[in-house]
């Protein structure tokens, strides 16, 4: 079969762009090859790989897990089902963090629940004066994050553990986090490929809860791990801005705020001591 014929097999089954990308990954061809030489034969192993990916993508498995990587802030990060797939909304958290770091000579930063490492690695590369630490409870996630840091040349100190527990006695100028914040039982967990992503990274897994349990832990413990004037910034759900601000204010944080993402949805809240 040719490139054009193989691509036609996906018509009506999955998104056209997804089909093209999967065929490029399976065969090693470029978009230009598909356009200029659709008659190019596809070798049997490449066709078998594409057919497998096509069936799995049609069943809802995310593209990033199939090909093992995705782009974030212009960098290619490896991903696996052990970590969440990076989403562009998280760039807001990084931009706000960079704004708080600006002008500091040697700030210390910790990223809680680092997952694939996108936040910690982006901050380490984009603010090289910072000393960056990253924590995750999942050994599988840490393996992915360490690999990404090595590939991208980012200096990040990784720790396995539950939020701030591995960092007893240490203080930081900035704490950032994209924690689980979807309420257990939320119908969104069954949509948009989320059933394939790690449940531990999506929800606090508290039956009947409101999704804020992890945020409550982080806010409650942050003060003892921040330097005077240090900032806490965290991502949250679209309807959790007010609750997040209330938690921050109750914990003694000042200049508490919520910032929207590019779609205008409440996305990141924070404050400083």
Prediction pTM value: 0.93
Mean pLDDT of 45-53: 96
pLDDT greater than 90 at residue 202: no
Cα separation, 32 vs 124, whole angstroms? 35
pLDDT tens digit string along 6-18? 999 999 999 999 9
The bridge status of strand 266-272 relative to strand 254-260 is: antiparallel
Average model confidence (pLDDT) across the chain = 94
SS3 40: coil
| Domain contains 99 | yes
Considering the domain architecture, whether residues 109 and 180 belong to the same structural domain is answered as: yes
Considering the domain architecture, whether residues 174 and 248 belong to the same structural domain is answered as: yes
Q: Which residue in 74, 160, 65, 72 sits closest to 114, CA to CA? A: 160
Considering the domain architecture, whether residues 189 and 54 belong to the same structural domain is answered as: no
Residue 228: the pLDDT is 96
pLDDT greater than 90 at residue 4: yes
3-state helix, strand, coil in the chain (%, to 5): 45, 20, 35
Considering the domain architecture, whether residues 152 and 197 belong to the same structural domain is answered as: yes
Mean pLDDT of 241-247: 97
Residue 199: the pLDDT is 85
Residue listed under structure tokens 């840091």: 149
Residue 200: the pLDDT is 81
| Domain contains 74 | no
pLDDT greater than 90 at residue 36: yes
Considering the domain architecture, whether residues 34 and 92 belong to the same structural domain is answered as: no
The domain containing residue 18 runs over which residues?
3-59
Q: Which H or E run contains 56?
A: helix 44-58
Q: Which residue has the higher pLDDT, 106 or 189?
A: 106
Mean pLDDT of 23-32: 94
pLDDT confidence band for 224 (50 / 70 / 90): very high
Total structural domains within the chain: 2
Residue 70: the pLDDT is 96
For the chain, what percent of residues have pLDDT higher than 70?
A: 100
Residue 182: the pLDDT is 87
pLDDT tens digit string along 62-86? 999 999 999 999 999 999 999 999 9
| Domain contains 72 | no
Residue 209: the pLDDT is 79
Considering the domain architecture, whether residues 101 and 200 belong to the same structural domain is answered as: yes
Considering the domain architecture, whether residues 105 and 224 belong to the same structural domain is answered as: yes
Mean pLDDT of 79-96: 96
Residue listed under structure tokens 């840490």: 142
Considering the domain architecture, whether residues 181 and 115 belong to the same structural domain is answered as: yes
Considering the domain architecture, whether residues 43 and 114 belong to the same structural domain is answered as: no
CATH number of the domain bearing residue 214 = 3.40.50.150
| Domain contains 51 | yes
Contacts of 270 (CB under 8 A, 6+ apart): 96, 231, 232, 233, 234, 248, 253, 256, 257, 259
pLDDT greater than 90 at residue 238: yes
CA 57 vs CA 46, 47, 53, 108: distances in Å: 16, 15, 6, 41
Considering the domain architecture, whether residues 54 and 90 belong to the same structural domain is answered as: no
Considering the domain architecture, whether residues 233 and 162 belong to the same structural domain is answered as: yes
| Domain contains 78 | no
Cα separation, 41 vs 2, whole angstroms? 4
Residue 189: the pLDDT is 79
| Domain contains 156 | yes
Residue 174: the pLDDT is 98
Residue 183: the pLDDT is 83
Residue 168: the pLDDT is 94
SS3 113: coil
| Domain contains 73 | no
Mean pLDDT of 176-185: 91
pLDDT confidence band for 24 (50 / 70 / 90): very high
Considering the domain architecture, whether residues 55 and 87 belong to the same structural domain is answered as: no
pLDDT confidence band for 205 (50 / 70 / 90): confident
Mean pLDDT of 81-94: 96
Mean pLDDT of 203-215: 85
Residue 188: the pLDDT is 77
| Domain contains 76 | no
């Amino acid at each position: 079969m040719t490139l054009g014929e193989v691509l036609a097999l996906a018509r009506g089954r999955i998104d056209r762009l997804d089909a093209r990308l999967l065929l490029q990954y399976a065969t090693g061809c470029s978009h230009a090859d598909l356009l200029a030489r659709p008659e190019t034969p596809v070798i049997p192993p490449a066709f078998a790989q594409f057919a497998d990916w096509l069936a799995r993508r049609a069943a809802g498995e995310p593209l990033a897990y199939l090909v093992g990587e995705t782009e974030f802030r212009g960098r290619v990060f490896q991903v696996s089902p052990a970590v969440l797939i990076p989403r562009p909304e998280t760039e807001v958290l990084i931009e706000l963090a960079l704004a708080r770091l600006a002008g500091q000579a040697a700030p210390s930063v910790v990223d809680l629940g680092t997952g694939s490492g996108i936040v910690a690695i982006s901050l380490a590369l984009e603010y090289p004066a910072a000393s960056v630490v990253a924590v995750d409870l999942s050994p599988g996630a840490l393996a992915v994050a360490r690999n990404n840091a090595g590939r991208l040349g980012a200096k990040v100190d990784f720790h396995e553990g539950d939020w701030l527990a591995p960092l007893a006695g240490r203080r930081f100028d900035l704490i950032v986090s994209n924690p689980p914040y979807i309420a257990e039982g939320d119908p969104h967990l069954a949509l948009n490929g989320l059933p394939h992503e790690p449940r531990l990274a999506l929800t606090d897994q508290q039956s009947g809860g409101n999704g804020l349990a992890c945020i409550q832990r982080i806010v409650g413990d942050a003060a003892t791990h921040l330097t005077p004037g240090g900032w806490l910034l965290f991502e949250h759900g679209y309807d959790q801005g007010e609750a997040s601000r209330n938690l921050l204010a109750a914990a003694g944080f000042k200049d508490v705020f919520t910032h929207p993402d590019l779609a205008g949805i409440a996305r990141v809240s924070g404050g400083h001591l």
